[in-house]
C-alpha cells in the first residue's frame, strides 16, 4: 500500500438499502483513501433467513428512475431478475378494473431481497486493502460524539439471553437507521441539530393476497393493484410467487382488526369491503397471520441539517416520509448518489463533503416531505378530483391532456428523475390545495 494512502474508519448504523449502497460505493475507492467500514444492524443477517415468516417484516418497494439510477449496473442486473417490472396501476372497484399506465416501467422488489442483494455485493466488494465488518443483532447503546465512539450491544448468537457490549471508534458516523434513528436522537439531545418529528395520520398492516382464486379474474403480474374504500385502502404488488404483497392502510386509531380475535372475522370484513374480489383473495392462513401482525406507525421527519462535523444522515434518518408517494427508498438511494458525487468533488475530504452535502440536498429533503404530506387528499371533493385527473390524463391524447390538465405530483415523480425541489415547484398549485384542505 502506498505510504500516501490514508485509512478512514466509517461506522454505518443501519444495514438497509441506503447504508449498504454507501458502503459499496466507498469500497470502490481505494486510491488516496482506504475505508474500514463497520456496519451495525439491530436485525438478524438476512442471508441467514430462510423461513417464510420473515416476509411479515418486509414490504414491496417500487424503484423509480431516481432510485434505480443510483444503483450500479452490476446490482441493477441482479435485481432485474429478482423483482417485477410494473407498467402501471390497476384500480379495483365495484364496476370492475381500470388500468392506469405509467410512462416508464418501475421495478418492484421485496425490501428484504433488495437489502440482501446489496449486502452480498458489499461482502464481495471487500478487498485485502479494505475492511468490512458486520454487527447484526446489535443495537447502539451510546454515542460519544467528542470521543468519536459508539457502544453497541449485541445478542449472543449461541444464547439469546446474553449480550456483549462493544465500543467502536470512528472517523465518521453514518446514521442510516430509519425514521426512529437513535443516532439522530442522540445528536438532537446534544443540540447538534434539530428535527421536526410528526406521526403520519395513517397506520398500516402488511397483507398478502392470493393472485388467483375461484370466481376471481387472475391479477396481472406486471401491475400494482389498488383498492380504495371510504375507511381504508390496499396497495399491493405481485413480487412473491402466487401472491400480491403490500399493505392495508387506515386512519390512525382506526385499525379495523384491533378488536378481532378470529380469522373468520377478518374474512367477513373483506367480504363486506369487496364481495366480488377480496372475499376470495384472503386465504384462511392469511386471515390468521394478519391478526398476529403488528400495526405499523410511520413518522415524518424534517432535519435542520443533514450532517454534524463527524456525522452524516441518510434516508429516513434524515427525512422520513409517508409511503403515499413511494419515495422513501427512492429518496434514500438518491441521497447516497448525491453524497458520493459530492465526496468525489471534494477529493474524499469528508470535512468538506459533509457541509457541501447539506447545502446540495437539504432543499430536496424538505421538498420530498412536502410532496409526501400533501399530494394525496384525505377526503372530499379533492379526493375525487385526484382520481379523476389521474384517469383522464391517461385517457386523453397527450397534447390535449397537457393543455387541459396539469400533471399531479405522483405523475411527475414516477415519470422523471428531476430534483424534488423542481417537482414541488411544478406542482405547488396542487400541494397548496391539499395543504389548505388538510389544515382546515
Asked if the model's pLDDT at residue 340 lies above 70, the reply is yes
Q: Is residue 80 part of a domain?
A: no
Cα separation, 43 vs 20, in Å, equals: 14
Query: What integer pLDDT is reported at residue 357 of this predicted model?
Result: 99
Residue 339, C-alpha cell as written in the block: 453524497
Domain count of the fold of the chain: 3
Could you tell me the residue range of the domain that residue 25 belongs to?
A: 6-75+111-197+301-372
Check pLDDT > 70 for residue 38.
yes
pLDDT category at 320 given cuts 50, 70, 90 is very high
Residue 52 confidence class, pLDDT cut points 50, 70, 90: very low
Which residue, chain included where needed, has cell 441482479?
78
Query: Does residue 68 sit within a domain?
Result: yes
CA distances from 43 to 134, 205, 265, 315 (A): 11, 19, 32, 18
Would you state the pLDDT for residue 37?
A: 96
b/e per residue, 90-120, with b = 16+ CB within 10 A? bbbeeeeebebebeeebbbbbbbbbbbbbbe
pLDDT of residue 50: 52
Distance (Å, whole) CA 190 – CA 334: 28
Same domain, yes or no: 382 and 423 = yes
| Cβ 312 vs Cβ 172: under 8 Å | yes
pLDDT tens by residue, 398-418:
778 777 889 999 999 988 889
pTM greater than 0.75 (yes/no): yes
CATH number of the domain residue 95 falls in: 3.30.9
Of 44-58, 252-266, 292-306, 321-335, which gets the smallest average pLDDT? 44-58
Give the list of residues 6+ apart from residue 50 with CB closer than 8 angstroms, or none: none
CATH code for position 57: 3.50.50.60
Inter-CA distances, 397 with 6, 104, 392, Å:
58, 17, 9
User: Do 93 and 59 fall into the same domain?
Assistant: no
On whether residue 391 sits in a domain, the answer given is yes
Look at residues 372, 392, 415 and tell me which one is the last residue of a structural domain.
Answer: 372
Taking residues 182-195, report their average pLDDT: 96
Q: Is the pLDDT of residue 192 over 90?
A: yes
Pair (292, 364) in one structural domain:
no
Higher pLDDT, 388 or 41: 41
Residue 125 and residue 49 in one domain? yes
**Is pLDDT above 90 for 104?**
no
Which pLDDT value is given to residue 413?
A: 92
**Residue 193 belongs to some domain of the structure:** yes
Which of these three, 278, 297, 316, is where a domain ends? 297
Q: Residue 13 pLDDT > 80, yes or no? A: yes
Give the cell for residue 212: 388467483
Residues 365 and 393 in one domain: no
Average pLDDT over residues 250-256: 92
Same structural domain, 191 and 215: no
If asked whether residues 104 and 116 sit together in one domain, one would say no
Of the residues 328, 348, 372, the one at which a domain ends: 372
423 with 367: CB under 8 angstroms?
yes
Amino acid at each position: 500500500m502506498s505510504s500516501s494512502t490514508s485509512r478512514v474508519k466509517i461506522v454505518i448504523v443501519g444495514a438497509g438499502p441506503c447504508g449498504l449502497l454507501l458502503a459499496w460505493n466507498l469500497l470502490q475507492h481505494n486510491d488516496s483513501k482506504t475505508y474500514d467500514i463497520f456496519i451495525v444492524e439491530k436485525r438478524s443477517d438476512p442471508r441467514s433467513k430462510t423461513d417464510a415468516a420473515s416476509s411479515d417484516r418486509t414490504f414491496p418497494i417500487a424503484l423509480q428512475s431516481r432510485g434505480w439510477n443510483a444503483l450500479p449496473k452490476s446490482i441493477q442486473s441482479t435485481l432485474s431478475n429478482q423483482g417485477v417490472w410494473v407498467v402501471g396501476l390497476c384500480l379495483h372497484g365495484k364496476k370492475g378494473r381500470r388500468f392506469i399506465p405509467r410512462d416508464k416501467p418501475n421495478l418492484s422488489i421485496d425490501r428484504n431481497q433488495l437489502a440482501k442483494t446489496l449486502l452480498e455485493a458489499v461482502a464481495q466488494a471487500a478487498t485485502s486493502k479494505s475492511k468490512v465488518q458486520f454487527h447484526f443483532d446489535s443495537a447502539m447503546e451510546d454515542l460519544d460524539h467528542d470521543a468519536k465512539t459508539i457502544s453497541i450491544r449485541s445478542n449472543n448468537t449461541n444464547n439469546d439471553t446474553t449480550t456483549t457490549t462493544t465500543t467502536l471508534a470512528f472517523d465518521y458516523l453514518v446514521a442510516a437507521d430509519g425514521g426512529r434513528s437513535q443516532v439522530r436522537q442522540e445528536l438532537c439531545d446534544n443540540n447538534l441539530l434539530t428535527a421536526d418529528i410528526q406521526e403520519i395520520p395513517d397506520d398500516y398492516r402488511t397483507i398478502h393476497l392470493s393472485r388467483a382464486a375461484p370466481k376471481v379474474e387472475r391479477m396481472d403480474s406486471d401491475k400494482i393493484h389498488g383498492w380504495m374504500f371510504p375507511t381504508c385502502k390496499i396497495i399491493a404488488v405481485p413480487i412473491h410467487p402466487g401472491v400480491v404483497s403490500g399493505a392495508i392502510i387506515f386512519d390512525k386509531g382506526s385499525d379495523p382488526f384491533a378488536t378481532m380475535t378470529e380469522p373468520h372475522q377478518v374474512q367477513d370484513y373483506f367480504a363486506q369491503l369487496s364481495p366480488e374480489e377480496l372475499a376470495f383473495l384472503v386465504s384462511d392462513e392469511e386471515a390468521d397471520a394478519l391478526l398476529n401482525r403488528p400495526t405499523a406507525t410511520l413518522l415524518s421527519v424534517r432535519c435542520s441539517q443533514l450532517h454534524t462535523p463527524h456525522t452524516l444522515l441518510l434516508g429516513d434518518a434524515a427525512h422520513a416520509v409517508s409511503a403515499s408517494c413511494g419515495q422513501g427508498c427512492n429518496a434514500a438511494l438518491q441521497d447516497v448518489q448525491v453524497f458520493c458525487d459530492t465526496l468525489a468533488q471534494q477529493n474524499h475530504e469528508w470535512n468538506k463533503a459533509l457541509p457541501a452535502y447539506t447545502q446540495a440536498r437539504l432543499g430536496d429533503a424538505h421538498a420530498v416531505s412536502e410532496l409526501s404530506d400533501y399530494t394525496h387528499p384525505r377526503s372530499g371533493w379533492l379526493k375525487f378530483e385526484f382520481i379523476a385527473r389521474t384517469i383522464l390524463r391517461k385517457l386523453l391524447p397527450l397534447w390535449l391532456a397537457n393543455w387541459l390538465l396539469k400533471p399531479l405530483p405522483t405523475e411527475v415523480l414516477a415519470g422523471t428523475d428531476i430534483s424534488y425541489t423542481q417537482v414541488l415547484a411544478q406542482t405547488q398549485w396542487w400541494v397548496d390545495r391539499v395543504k389548505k384542505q388538510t389544515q382546515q
